[in-house]
Chains A and B, each alone.
Chain A
Amino acid sequence: MYRYIFNRLLLIIPVIIGVSFLIFAILDQAPGDVVNVITGGGATQEEVEELRAELGLDRPLLVRYAEYMGGLLRGDLGKSYISGRSVFEVYSERLPATLKLAVASILVSIILSIPLGIYAAVHSGKIGDNVSMVAALLGLSMPNFWLGLILIITFSLRLKLFPSGGDHGLISLVLPAITIGTGLTATLTRITRSSMLDVIRQDYLRTARAKGVSERKVINKHALKNALIPIITIIGTQFGNVIGGAVLTETVFAWPGVGRLIIDSIYARDIPMVTGSIILKTITISIVLLGVDLLYAAVDPRVRAQYSKGGS
């Protein structure tokens, strides 16, 4: 089992190398220059050259990339072109806000989705099921930045119940969490339902009924534990996605999180910040996914056995 974890952690490395090169190279080719952003376009040619030399931008791509990788190996993610502060430091400052948002959204979606999905599966084909599924589909089809705006218009501007932006404590978490949570709920409900439907057909439920187990326990104990595996995958990937950058929601709600940080840095062509943030994000997501896989092992004994054999 420990070998399995070790192997998985090892696999993150090539991914980091790949991601960093990709971002570095693409952004480097981008039109627009960070120097322009810093100076606001008002500098003379000499000043521009000076600044570029200072930032090391006058050297060829591969050299700069090699230097960057060298820094990475030492654990140094470099400094922001714009602010000069350590990338790691800036990222860490903004991360908690995104984490709060992610956790709140996921909780909202789990609390709503799983009972709804079970309900839809048990009453499959009947009105309750159809209504739930249409509602879920609606939730999926809404662009979440639109939903955010609508929520702001209704609850913040008209009803004045919630703040329309910024992180001012728990109450300001509500609307953004609902915005992200709606999309998550939609997907999770559908997965719960389809996973439960698959399990409901299984013979071992018939065995349980033949033993005299009550229907409620048949569904909530015998069926659910088996249905959990795909459900857990989805929760995990969703968590990873939200952490990865709830970019749009953060933009709409002016939320001081990592997503907005990355966008602003991309506009500013602040290559180290973008690359560093994305790398950190990738690491976070990989660890979350590892956690998800370990959670499988806790739920399904066959998976546990597979991992212990060193498979993946």
Chain B
Amino acid sequence: MENKNVILDIQDLEVRFEVDGEIIRAVNGVSLTLEKGKTLGLVGETGAGKTTAALAVMRLVPDPPGIIGKGNILLNGKDVMEMSVSNLEKIRGKEVSMIFQDPMTSLNPVFTVGEQIAESLEIHEQLSPADAMIKAKEMLELVGIPGYRASEFPYQFSGGMKQRVVIAIALACNPQLLIADEPTTALDVTIQAQVLALMKALKEKYGTAMIMITHDLGIVAEVCDEVAVMYAGRIIEKGTLDQVFNNTLHPYTEGLFNSLPNIKNRKSELRPIPGLMPDPVNLPPGCAFEPRCAYAREECGLRIPDSRFVSDHIVCCLAYDDPNFHIRRKGGKNVE
């Protein structure tokens, strides 16, 4: 089905790492589609496989030891997995860009920030170095940094400003898809807000589709149209922001919401999800969440739930075999 509105179509992506004789199953069957201009929040704890899945979209997974086992990734209709390396290099930075978590290490210390932005322009838009530098300065202004600072080096910028530079590099060639891997996690809260606002504004201005990888539900609520929740390398719930937040279906997602401290009731206890995410070397045969799940039944440990449509969106949970099942957090509130 060729939908001209779909910028990214991932089907059954599997990525594993082979290290020291052990196989680490990082991504185990991820499927999602994203329409142009929309923002998808990819949510999950550290180790859930979010970053690896994102890297796979650009085929940036380090090749040993990472292996993309199977899966189709269609970017603007083009198959990323089948592309030649030189075509891949053409679309990276031009049709799809990625920004990473730690701004302190993302910039090359021995080149000026202007040069680093300009490089992207020289490669993809065939600008001369002089023209590219002019445009680079414009990009800096766009992200709120004075253009004359283009001749300065990364060490002369603070964390938040470095991240703005990273955003400028990513958006320099006006990509249709921006993948942002926890872009604000390493920043102070106030700077976080600024950078998020900047990203929102640019996204709206250019109509860029975005995948926002984060573990922070607050950010998701701020920025995203759609949400996909990942656990142990699989997407266990997927829907629009409203659907996932207000009609939560999966026990894990419920657990995530419950883990948020209740700002209205300061005396209430924190309710973490007991246990730990499973070791990706040793995934259980059935549902990966089963050991920690309050609603688990015996068959949950025996087979992996397939994804099914329940109520208004998609979830992977065997509990919904029972049409009357609901979790306690129904409709966004705790009911019994």
Indicate yes or no for A touching B, C-beta below 8 A.
Answer: yes
Say whether A212 contacts B60, CB under 8 Å: no
Residue B106 CB within 8 A of the other chain: yes
A 290-305 binary contact with B (CB < 8 Å = 1; else 0): 0000000001111001
On chain B, the residues within 8 Å of A226 by CB distance are 108-110
Q: Report Cα–Cα, A205/B237, bound state, in Å.
A: 34
Residue A214 CB within 8 A of the other chain: yes
Q: Report Cα–Cα, A214/B85, bound state, in Å.
A: 9
Q: Report Cα–Cα, A228/B154, bound state, in Å.
A: 18
On chain A, the residues within 8 Å of B119 by CB distance are 208, 211, 213
Known: A208-B119, A301-B110. 9 other contacts (CB 8 A): A203-B100, A203-B105, A207-B169, A210-B58, A211-B97, A212-B120, A214-B89, A301-B109, A305-B155
Q: Which of B94-117 contact A (CB under 8 A)?
A: 94, 97-98, 100, 102, 105-111
On chain B, the residues within 8 Å of A203 by CB distance are 100, 102, 105-106
26 residue pairs bridging A and B, Cβ less than 8 Å apart: A202-B105, A203-B102, A203-B105, A203-B106, A206-B60, A207-B106, A207-B107, A207-B166, A209-B92, A210-B170, A211-B93, A211-B119, A211-B169, A212-B90, A212-B92, A212-B94, A212-B120, A213-B123, A222-B108, A222-B111, A226-B108, A226-B110, A299-B110, A301-B109, A301-B155, A302-B155
Residue B320 CB within 8 A of the other chain: no
Residue B149 CB within 8 A of the other chain: no
- Most chain-A CB neighbours within 10 Å: which of B85, B86, B109, B155? B109
Residues of B at under 8 Å CB distance from A? Answer: 58, 60, 64, 85-86, 89-94, 97-98, 100, 102, 105-111, 119-120, 123-124, 153, 155, 166, 169-170
Q: Report Cα–Cα, A219/B98, bound state, in Å.
A: 20
Q: Report Cα–Cα, A1/B189, bound state, in Å.
A: 39
On chain B, the residues within 8 Å of A204 by CB distance are 105-109
Residue A225 CB within 8 A of the other chain: yes
With A225-B110, A302-B153 in contact, is A210–B102 under 8 Å at CB? Answer: no
A 178-218 binary contact with B (CB < 8 Å = 1; else 0): 00000000000000000000000011101111111111000
Q: Report Cα–Cα, A202/B106, bound state, in Å.
A: 8
Q: Report Cα–Cα, A300/B110, bound state, in Å.
A: 6
Minimum CB distance partner of A228 in chain B: B110
On chain A, the residues within 8 Å of B120 by CB distance are 211-212
Say whether B93 contacts A212, CB under 8 Å: yes
On chain A, the residues within 8 Å of B90 by CB distance are 212
Q: Which of A23-48 contact B (CB under 8 A)?
A: none
By Cβ-Cβ distance, the 9 closest A-B pairs, closest first, are A212-B93, A212-B92, A211-B93, A203-B105, A204-B108, A301-B153, A210-B98, A212-B89, A211-B120
On chain B, the residues within 8 Å of A212 by CB distance are 89-94, 120, 123-124
Q: Report Cα–Cα, A305/B109, bound state, in Å.
A: 13
On chain A, the residues within 8 Å of B85 by CB distance are 215
Q: Report Cα–Cα, A213/B64, bound state, in Å.
A: 20
Minimum CB distance partner of A223 in chain B: B108
